[in-house]
Amino acid sequence: MSAAKIRRIRLGRAPNCSSLGNVVNVLIWSQAAMAALWVAAESWPTRRRRDEPGGGETRATDDPPALVSTATENGAPHEAHVQVTRACAMPCPTCHIDPEVGGEHVPAAVLAERFRGLAAAGVFHVALGGGEALAHPDLAEIAASARAAGLSVGLTTSGVGNLSAIVGFDQVNVSIDALGEGYARVRGYAGEAAALAAIRALLGAGVPVGVNIVLDREGFAALGETVDAVVALGVRDVHLLRLKPTGRAGGVYLDRRLTPAQGMAVWPALLELLGRHPEVSFRVDCAMTPFLAAHGVDPARMREVGWTGCHGGDALLAVNTAGELAPCSFVAGPPDPGWRGGVRAEPCASCAWSATCRGGCHAVASFLRGSLLAPDPECALVIAHDRDSIQNSIK
């Protein structure tokens, strides 16, 4: 690595929003532990690197998996979410797309070409999804072509399908939003057994496994028992994702989204889980940052550890089955919608977390406020600001 100062370290490699980073654990590390990480990162072997336009570089490492950057800005996305199929037989009402039982698969040769293009553009990591990616008949070939292009590759699955096709992935995340009847109520089918069986099978095969938990209000109420169950199986990487109001989920969003009280309870719940399972990495997705900011989590520490709030159109890119680019999987194109400057309206404009949070989730803002660049209406700071504005206007 160049002698330039390391500015950000993003630990991990997993297949969803903020797949390269947003590790909650490091937010509460001591300064001494952080300093040791910084020193160690100087000697992590580089797998791929790129120069960044404002000076400095970003490099991907495998041991440990991370992105280490001396740059202040990104010249290209770090990660791309690539949809490999629209097929899925599951009825999940909270799905962020609207897949079909016989939905189209993208041919493996087409995906290989897309991977080469993404790698040439400087992308480090692709996260594959669907539909249900396991429905694609050529999944192992697809993973191999991504790796041949120089990309690391992850996958998200419900666990329903041919698990023997999962070959050559850096990490596979299994979605399990609740247990037992709760799973069936949240996802619309009795899928807990398949998800847990998939986790066991992948762990048994030596595949790095994470778990995705999309938080709706019922799943959040049962979060502790879901985490306990997957940790008992051997999972050491747990990702909490915010529900997004796109695809099928748009029809149930207002009834299923976290309540304001639950939004405020996310950070305490994470601290409690970290205390109970210190051996586990807990991550949250890009859209969860407002729930942490409301508790005063240090924005400088967030920047140091490469924490990403809304990084659509900057560090993140999405590619759908038609090959169309978008800033993220939850918002249609253009791929660079000019979100880097964040949301300019108050309270985001003067918010201490705006450089990281960037105004919260634009997909949520668009759904609830009709504008991608409205402040995230579910952020507690935005809720308080709006309440104060109303009170001031009627004084």
- Site residues, ligand SF4 (CB under 6 A): 17, 244, 286-287, 290, 293, 310-312, 316, 328, 330-331, 347-348, 351, 353-354, 357, 359-363, 375-376, 379, 381-382
Contact 335, 326 (CB under 8 A): yes
CB of 206: closest distance to ligand SF4 in angstroms? 31
Task: Tell me whether the omega of the peptide bond preceding residue 337 falls within 30 degrees of 0, making it cis.
Answer: no
* Tokens (6 digits) for 214: 């999309």
User: What span, in angstroms and rounded, lies between the C-alpha atoms of 258 and 217?
Assistant: 5
Rg of the chain on CA atoms, in Å:
20
Q: Closer CB to ligand SF4, residue 71 or residue 315?
A: 315
Q: Closer CB to ligand SF4, residue 219 or residue 312?
A: 312
Q: Closer CB to ligand SF4, residue 187 or residue 311?
A: 311
CB of 22: closest distance to ligand SF4 in angstroms? 11
User: What span, in angstroms and rounded, lies between the C-alpha atoms of 103 and 386?
Assistant: 43
CB of 328: closest distance to ligand SF4 in angstroms? 3
Q: Closer CB to ligand SF4, residue 16 or residue 157?
A: 16
Q: Closer CB to ligand SF4, residue 131 or residue 290?
A: 290
CB of 94: closest distance to ligand SF4 in angstroms? 14
Q: String of b and e for 248-266 (b: at least 16 CB within 10 Å)?
A: bbeeebeebbbeeebbebb
User: What span, in angstroms and rounded, lies between the C-alpha atoms of 232 and 179?
Assistant: 14
Q: Closer CB to ligand SF4, residue 227 or residue 351?
A: 351
Amino acid sitting at position 171: Q
The DSSP H or E segment spanning 173 is: strand 171-175
Question: Rounded to a whole number, what is the largest CA-CA distance in the chain?
Answer: 66
User: What span, in angstroms and rounded, lies between the C-alpha atoms of 126 and 133?
Assistant: 13
User: What span, in angstroms and rounded, lies between the C-alpha atoms of 108 and 114?
Assistant: 10
CB of 309: closest distance to ligand SF4 in angstroms? 6
CB of 214: closest distance to ligand SF4 in angstroms? 12
